[in-house]
Chain A
Amino acid sequence: MAPSNSTAQPPATSQPRKGKLGPMARREARLALWMLAPTFLIVMGIVLFPLLANFWISVKPVTLSDLRPPTPVVSERVRGDFDIAGQEFEIQYRLRNSSRDGDITDVVLTDTLPAGITVTDPGDVCTVTGSEVRCALDGLPAGERTRLKMTAVADETFAANPVSPRDSEPTVTGTAENILTNSEFTLDNFARIFDSHEFWSVLWVTITYTVFGTLGALVLGLFAAQMLNKPFAGRSIIRGLFLFPYVAPVIAVAFTWVILLDPFNGTFNAILQRMNLADEGVNFFGQRDIPIDVFGLTIDFPLALATVIAFEAWRYFPLSFLFILARMQSISSDMYEAAEVDGATPLQQFWHISLPQLLGILSTLFLLRFIWTFNKFDDIFLLTGGAAGTRTLTVDVYEQGFALSNLGAGAAVAVAIFILLLVFAVFYFKFVHREDS
């Protein structure tokens, strides 16, 4: 390929891009398109298409079992002796609709008979041309079974060397209505989701989990970054250690927490009892509320929710820690030296120099982590399965779609998530993106 004009210049954006493109520029644009095509395709197919498909599925009365469309099933039998020349025998096709509630239309069965067999009576629905059998039925209602019978006779050459007519597999096709593609629509899914008292409590749990999980991870990350800001022996080892919770697979750490916090024989509860901090095992993941006395007031503390928030903060503090540390290292030390000369104390330095400098990265991290925590499914699903007042919107998608087998309702929750995310995305582009550039 010839060197193109435009790459001979630095990738300047000042060039007028609108208007007519020269042949070189057009060729470059075409090349760029080809290079981006695979990415486009896979993102369209696996991300954008499902996003839109959710809207479609959410207005469909579709359940898990509908994913297996009704199909016709056939088995072939032979009655009588087919290896005696001149003797009539019967070939039987038994047809069955695999589904109990979906009809099949335009059922067509085809089969090939061995050479030397002549059909004497093809029955009502079958026609025979040469050795090809073709049977056409208008429909096979739900759960129905039917038999197609043909009478046939074998000739001498066949009888001398007989093969069973069953050796050739009959094929059968039919058209069944696919609930996903037909024109039946319903708003029941949305009605079900929004009517239930549960939805609003789920939304509330989601917001609590997202806000506190994000804040927890940020505060821990800020604390850890502050500790590792100044160099000391073994700093890189500690930094690597602090990243463990994030790098390890979620299944491993989630199950470890479940076992660690087991109310009956978990190590953590045993430690609490040994230190006389608890009288009996605390069911951290199973107990919705625990009453706590604060100055005579009894508050119901949402224990299970607090524990999953603690897990979230524990697992994702390494990420905010890395970002905050990277930002801290880039703050010029001159400022601290000047402040030191002026007699500012360490806490004042942190409050008046570090924090303002970190505000940008902290707000970016907050928004990104907020959205990712909002999107999080694995953690809560593995820890509590959404029980004991920890069901968030994402867990609700699974609960509705798969635990209750109502794909439509699950998709309706997904649509609700998507709309909330659009709101977040607007925020993201308004605030975060401006800061990036």
Chain B
Amino acid sequence: MRIGTGLLLGLLTGLLWGTIAVALTGISLTLITGLPATPIISAGALGGAVNAAIIMLRAPADRTPGLYLVAFAGVIITMMLVSFGAPFSLAFSESSLIQAFGVGLIALAVTFANRAVLIDIQSGMLKRYKIDLVIVRTLKGFGFVFFSVIVILPFYVMVMTSLKNQQDLFLNPLDLSIDLTQGAASLFDSYVELFTKFNFGRFLLISTIVSVCTVLITLAFSIPGAYAVARLKFPGQTVLSSSILLIYLVPMIVLVIPLYAVFSQLGLRNTVVGLLIVYPATTVPVALYMLQGYFRGLPAELEEAGLMDGLSRIGVIWKITLPLALPALASVSLYVFMIAWNEFLFAFMFLDDPDIFTLSRGVVSLNSSEVPRQHLMAGAVIATVPILVIFLWFERFLVQGLTAGSVKG
């Protein structure tokens, strides 16, 4: 083994992976099993460095599975020695199987990470290219861990909190483990209560009705408009197609006061109809912009052939353009559905009557000190699950819609 920048970088990345692995595993152990584990960071960091050093004992071409096995063992031995046999500050007699699993997981993760970063890196002096390579790989690996944690942690906490009860949560906020032996009825207690006592079934229904109607109205308004902008010629066409985007820039909060005043006087404020007037107004311009872009891309010859064969313009749109534009219609519908489902501001300002609450409005009403927090989180889960399921199911369409429309958020 030669000593140079390669070894130095290897040791540094090893330290980093060791630190990340031990911290994450320790916290995950606590969150999942409820054990009061405090990971010894220095043990993991040194373990990671030892692992990297062992891997770099040999030149990249000579690294055998046996070497990696030794490096794997190196992590475990180092961690045990540095932490005096308690890598999570727990006596090893306590849940020894889980602890052993945790240590094994750390060693495995560190070995894999070091192998991925150092696969073609020797221990001697490195060229600039190789140094950059190590840095980029490390950053990417760190990025995966970082993004996964920041995305998964809140959603994990949301779901687990909804399945626990307030006393347990206050007693130990780190213990998000759930007792599966208690049976489904008591496990899903919050959900049952929300649907029986808090009327969430109705909120779910109202939200569905409002969202679906918003989609239908938006399509009914934007399809003819988009077709006109894309295919027909009229004075002011270019001005119009570029100024549609200006509606994007209008903040909803600015519209709230006048709409509140006018809708109050017209008796539309506390009604579903009121929402069904406001929601499409905010989504029609976006939908029109997305659709006209797609319509322009369709071959005009097909429509001309239709017109020649004696179809009316409406017939052409219905029988030729729309079937061709189905993917775009799906994207627009999903996107509009998502906006309407997630909408909070107008639902919050307009609706006072619990009989016509949408889910967003219903969840806000749970945010009080009198309602236990697992109910609030259960409400959040009920609002999130349908939209996430739809999103995962139709991800391709939604992603298209999001990018094609340069979407409002």
Which residues of A are interface residues toward B (Cβ below 8 A)? 1, 3-4, 6-8, 10-11, 13, 15, 17, 25, 28-29, 31-36, 38-39, 42-43, 45-47, 49-51, 53-54, 57, 62, 67-69, 178, 180, 220, 223-224, 226-227, 236, 238-253, 255-257, 259-260, 262, 264-267, 269-271, 274-276, 314, 316, 319, 322-323, 326, 343, 345-348, 350, 364, 368, 371-372, 374-375, 377-378, 382, 394, 397-398, 401-402, 407, 410-411, 414, 417-418, 421, 424-425, 428, 433
Residues of B within 8 A of A382 (CB): 344, 364
Known contacts: A32-B228, A38-B224, A377-B345. The answer to whether A343 contacts B150 by CB under 8 A is no
How far apart are the CA atoms of A33 and B237 in the complex, in Å? 10
Are the C-beta atoms of B344 and A250 separated by less than 8 Å? Answer: yes
Which residues of B are interface residues toward A (Cβ below 8 A)? 23, 27, 30-31, 36-39, 41, 128-129, 131-133, 135-136, 140, 143-144, 147-148, 150-155, 157-158, 161, 169-170, 172-174, 176, 220-222, 224-225, 227-235, 237-238, 240, 242, 245-262, 264-265, 277-278, 280-282, 284-285, 288, 296, 300, 303-304, 307-308, 312-314, 338, 341-342, 344-345, 349, 359-360, 363-364, 367, 373, 376-377, 380-381, 383-384, 387-388, 391-392, 395, 398-399, 402-403, 406-409
Known contacts: A259-B161, A271-B174. The answer to whether A32 contacts B234 by CB under 8 A is yes
Known contacts: A43-B281, A271-B174, A433-B242. The answer to whether A256 contacts B155 by CB under 8 A is yes
The smallest beta-carbon distance between B26 and chain A, in angstroms, is 8
Among B155, B240, B312, which residue has the most Cβ atoms of chain A within 10 A? Answer: B155
**CB pairs A–B below 8 angstroms (28 shown):** A3-B308, A7-B231, A7-B303, A10-B300, A28-B232, A32-B234, A38-B224, A39-B225, A39-B284, A42-B277, A45-B277, A57-B257, A68-B264, A223-B143, A227-B140, A227-B143, A236-B395, A240-B395, A241-B152, A251-B360, A255-B363, A255-B377, A256-B158, A256-B377, A260-B154, A267-B174, A372-B409, A425-B249
The smallest beta-carbon distance between B368 and chain A, in angstroms, is 12
Are the C-beta atoms of B251 and A345 separated by less than 8 Å? Answer: no
Residues of B within 8 A of A425 (CB): 246, 249
Residues of B within 8 A of A13 (CB): 238
Known contacts: A50-B255, A421-B250. The answer to whether A35 contacts B225 by CB under 8 A is yes
Q: Interface residues of B: mostly helix, strand, loop or mixed? A: helix
| Contacts beyond the supplied A251-B344, A265-B170, A433-B242: 13 A-B pairs with Cβ under 8 Å | A7-B231, A11-B296, A38-B220, A38-B224, A46-B281, A51-B258, A67-B260, A251-B360, A270-B173, A274-B36, A276-B38, A319-B402, A346-B132
Residue of B nearest to A266 (CB): B173
Total contacts A-B at CB 8 Å: 313
Residues of B within 8 A of A223 (CB): 143
Residues of B within 8 A of A68 (CB): 264
The smallest beta-carbon distance between A431 and chain B, in angstroms, is 14
Residues of B within 8 A of A411 (CB): 257-258
The smallest beta-carbon distance between B152 and chain A, in angstroms, is 8
Residues of B within 8 A of A374 (CB): 251
How far apart are the CA atoms of A62 and B154 in the complex, in Å? 42
How far apart are the CA atoms of A394 and B257 in the complex, in Å? 12
Among B131, B230, B383, which residue has the most Cβ atoms of chain A within 10 A? Answer: B383
Residues of A within 8 A of B300 (CB): 7, 10-11
How far apart are the CA atoms of A336 and B255 in the complex, in Å? 48
Residues of A within 8 A of B296 (CB): 11
Residues of A within 8 A of B391 (CB): 240, 243, 247
Residues of A within 8 A of B144 (CB): 227, 238
Are the C-beta atoms of B157 and A46 separated by less than 8 Å? Answer: no
The smallest beta-carbon distance between A227 and chain B, in angstroms, is 5
Are the C-beta atoms of B234 and A33 separated by less than 8 Å? Answer: yes
Are the C-beta atoms of A417 and B251 separated by less than 8 Å? Answer: yes
Residues of B within 8 A of A249 (CB): 341-342, 344, 359-360, 363, 380, 383-384, 387
How far apart are the CA atoms of A356 and B265 in the complex, in Å? 54
Known contacts: A54-B254, A249-B360, A414-B254. The answer to whether A35 contacts B129 by CB under 8 A is no
The smallest beta-carbon distance between A19 and chain B, in angstroms, is 11
The smallest beta-carbon distance between B33 and chain A, in angstroms, is 14
How far apart are the CA atoms of A364 and B174 in the complex, in Å? 42
Return the 9 tightest CB-CB contacts between A and B, nearest first: A375-B251, A46-B281, A252-B380, A50-B258, A53-B258, A345-B132, A35-B224, A3-B307, A29-B234
Are the C-beta atoms of A323 and B403 separated by less than 8 Å? Answer: yes
How far apart are the CA atoms of A25 and B237 in the complex, in Å? 13
